[in-house]
Amino acid sequence: MGNSRAKAERRIEISGTKKRKEGLEGERQRESFELEKLKLIQIRSAQEPQMEGARIPSKKLSKLLHKYDTKENICLYIVLFERQASRMSLQRELWVTHLLGLLPQEITQIIARESKEKANDYDHVKKLLLKRFQLTLEKFRQLFNISEMN
């Protein structure tokens, strides 16, 4: 009987050792998983500032600045757009993209006719819009007279 009791104790000891090993292995796997998760979070957070400039401000910008109406002065609208984009720390390379979302279709078609490089260059797009919608002296007089009557 002493021998079978020793065997039973040995089996219990082996079983306990196996359970501890399994527990340690499970703990290692959880730690490895958590480590990988932290690495992914760190990579994502390093990329967020770039993504933030591209995504989030466009929604905020459209709430802060109304869509351009062709009856308005394009010069003033561009000044307002630039100020809002600067306040929001919007990357300048993204200004054309956000401006296009605020312009009517007939104006975006004018920009779409430009080469890809020119269409993505904010300074070129700005010059194009100012030239295309520049107030002529006669138009300015008409607007002035209308405002004087009101």
| Euclidean distance between CA atoms 26 and 20, whole angstroms | 10
Q: Give pLDDT, residue 121.
A: 96
Helices (H) and strands (E) in the chain, counts: 8, 0
Q: Give pLDDT, residue 1.
A: 62
Which burial class, exposed, middle or buried, applies to 121 when counting CB atoms under 10 A from its CB (0-12, 13-18, 19+)?
Answer: middle
Taking only Cα atoms into account, the Rg of the chain, rounded to an integer number of angstroms, comes to: 33
Nearest C-alpha neighbor of 120 from the set 144, 81, 94: 94
Q: Give pLDDT, residue 136.
A: 57
pTM across the whole model: 0.53
pLDDT 10s digit of each residue in the chain, 150 long? Answer: 668 888 888 888 888 888 888 888 888 888 877 777 777 777 776 665 555 444 445 557 777 888 998 888 888 899 999 999 999 888 999 999 999 999 999 999 999 999 999 999 999 999 998 888 776 556 666 766 776 776
CB-CB contact of 75 with 143 (8 Å)? no
Residue 68: DSSP 8-state: P
Q: Give pLDDT, residue 18.
A: 84
Nearest C-alpha neighbor of 73 from the set 130, 147, 145: 130
Joined together, the tokens standing for residue 47 give 């990329």
CB-CB contact of 88 with 57 (8 Å)? yes
